[in-house]
Structure 1
Amino acid sequence: MDGSTVAEELLREIKKTFQETAQVPDELLLALKFVFGPIAVPALDLVDQRSVTRVVSPSGRAAYQVLGSSGRLYTCYAACHFCTCPAFAFSVLRKADSLLCKHILAVYLSQATGACQELTVSNQQLENILLAEENEDG
């Protein structure tokens, strides 16, 4: 079983347990730290602070925005495990040290625990969010 399969199983287990008990037990928190390493605790902090927002448009397109600990807003694409933060570009893409950055992990954890906020925007507004990120990085 590779790392991403273990990670997906763990996130499924967290979601299932949270739905049944409204909490994440210590053994799953320990497993989270074991699988994701140093990003686990900061990701949990982002979830606790309700920093994750699902931005959805009438067309059905959606992206996630995470307010990082630095106060900067990052756009995450859960479907393809991508984030616009520098740590993702360096640790995940360039060095392949990590499966995810803390922002994407926070997206998955907020989905699992129902802590994700929802914001409906127009198709144009969502397009502007996506293009703004592209222009900043490109």
Structure 2
Amino acid sequence: MMLDIAELMIDSIQMDNFHETIPLLQSIIPEALLLASLDILDRHNVNVYEAPSGYVSYEVTGSESISTVSLGLKNSPIRDFCSCKSYIYAVLSEETHLMCKHILAVKLNNQLKRRSTSILDFEQLCSCIQRQHR
């Protein structure tokens, strides 16, 4: 339920109401998480990759590593996924957070239409996947 509310708040963010909407989001997202995701956006650390099949994947460069984010997972008990340790621990295991900073950064990035997408061919996609699993 809280995740649905967060999603609705994120979906309502536009450039012209950004500063008014952030305090609302802060009411259900911890301030440190929100600030960390905004820092990722400020640094332009969200990379969007699209395969010829239409599959979209995100790489987010965080403070310690590069995390892979997948949104809108089909046939899965979770909507979104991030490969970072914080997501595994705070979101999946302990359930203390709705999402990690990487997922929030990707969602805000998409909502604010700050996407620059790289279309990958098969070899580039394989290379990207290999890089993510090192």
Identify whether the pair has TM-score above 0.5, normalized to the shorter chain. yes
Please state which band the TM-score falls in when normalised by the shorter chain: 0.7 to 0.9
Give the number of the structure whose residues are more often helix, by fraction: 1
* Partner residue in 2 for 1:105: 104
Q: How does 1:47-66 map to 2 (within 5 A)?
A: 47-66=41-60
* Partner residue in 2 for 1:93: 92
Query: In 2, Cα distance between the equivalents of 1:32 and 1:110?
Result: 15
Query: In 2, Cα distance between the equivalents of 1:59 and 1:115?
Result: 22
SS in structure 2 at match of 1:36: coil
Instruction: Report how many residues are paired.
Output: 127
Output the amino acid matched with 2:66: L
Q: Does 1:76 align with 2:75?
A: no
Q: Does 1:30 align with 2:34?
A: no
Structure 2 residue ranges without an equivalent (≥5): 74-79
Query: In 2, Cα distance between the equivalents of 1:114 and 1:49?
Result: 15
Q: CA RMSD for the aligned pairs?
A: 1.7
TM-score (normalised: structure 2): 0.85
TM-score (normalised: structure 1): 0.83
Query: In 1, Cα distance between the equivalents of 2:85 and 2:23?
Result: 26
Output the amino acid matched with 2:120: V
1:127 Cα offset (Å): 3.5
Moved over 6 A (4+): none
- Identity, in percent, stands at 26
